[in-house]
Amino acid sequence: MEPSQDAQEGTPFIPPTIHRSSLLDGESYSSYSPCPSTITPASTSTSAEETTNPTACVLGVDEAGRGPVLGPMVYSAFYLPKELEKPLLTQDHSFDDSKVLTAGVRKNLMQMICSPGHALHNSCGWAVKVLSARDISAGMLRPGLGVYNLNAQAMDATIEIIRGVVEQRRINVKEVYIDTIGNPATYQHKLERIFPTLKITVAKKADSLYPCVSAASVVAKVTRDIALETCYEALVETNSSQQQQQQNPAEPTWGSGYPSDSKCVGWLRRDMDSLFGWGNECRFSWGTAKEMMEGKDAVRVDWPSNEAEETGISDFLIGHGPTTSREAKGLENWYGSKVGVSF
């Protein structure tokens, strides 16, 4: 494997899947690569003279960051010509389930995918949907509209990026392989109804079975990791002046963001505001965050019910409630008097 430019020059590698402003604002977003130079998209023209022979492609979908309490969940689609899938991804480059690759190998592969002129960049395309921690929690905790659970959010993300590649970028995708959410057959049937012209395979451990899914898992994992680093670095920058004034050592990292990570749990306890909790980086719907916000170090807020609230805005208007005539005249002139009228 070729050494990465990042490793050679010591400069941080930020892939185009990272949108810093959206991440820091707690916004979800989608991102798509340009069409690779070796792939011919389907033509939008109805003219017989301009009809092209679009490249038949295979597409894989996988995610990263489903379980953490901190940071976004990332869904990725990765596509390339069918005949290049195994030669390019498994023979020339050792793509595999991102969990079995080291962070350095994953980042190196991602950098090659994003480097113009490289074979991976010329032949492979990607799409990502980054679901922010704020939006994940808002969906899971929304009142009155019904819970928008994580499986439903994941399904919608998968549909969005497949549709974006096939319908908007007009890539001639023939086969789709997806790592499952829940029961593979149920998930596959849902997607087949939405995309009846695609051959869709949903399977457990798809990231180990199909090279295009392995590549998608690498894109998703690297994007998730760098997104988490970006959010943490911005938080440290914001708090750096205060830390210097207090002459405290640098705050330990928040780790992987998973509830099982002691660094993550320790950071959550140290950084929790007793009233507001944390910022956009935290999934408030997770049990870890809920328990801390309901603990002894948090401020309890009781919201009055509508039924118990007897005072409305009409009670402050003239003619409502026990307001005296003198008080009414005062309220009448709170914003001034009519022209030609004096009191």
Query: Quick check: 263 and 254 in contact, CB under 8 A?
Result: yes
Query: Quick check: 59 and 178 in contact, CB under 8 A?
Result: no
Q: Which two tokens stand for residue 267?
A: 């950071």
| Residue set of the binding site for a divalent metal cation | 62-63, 179
| 3 Cα distance to chain centroid | 29
Q: Give residue 323's identity as a one-letter amino acid code.
A: T
| Residue set of the binding site | 62-63, 179
Query: Residue 247 gets which letter from DSSP?
Result: T
Distances (CA, A) of 42 to 19, 52, 172, 194, 195: 29, 7, 6, 20, 17
φ, ψ for residue 291, nearest 5 deg = -60, -40
Please give the full DSSP string across 13-66, using - where no structure is assigned: P--TT--HHHHHTT--EEEEPPPPTT-PPPP----GGG---PPPEEEEEEEE-S
Half-sphere exposure at residue 274, Cβ-oriented, CA atoms within 13 angstroms: 5
Give the separation between CA 150 and CA 130, rounded to whole angstroms: 13
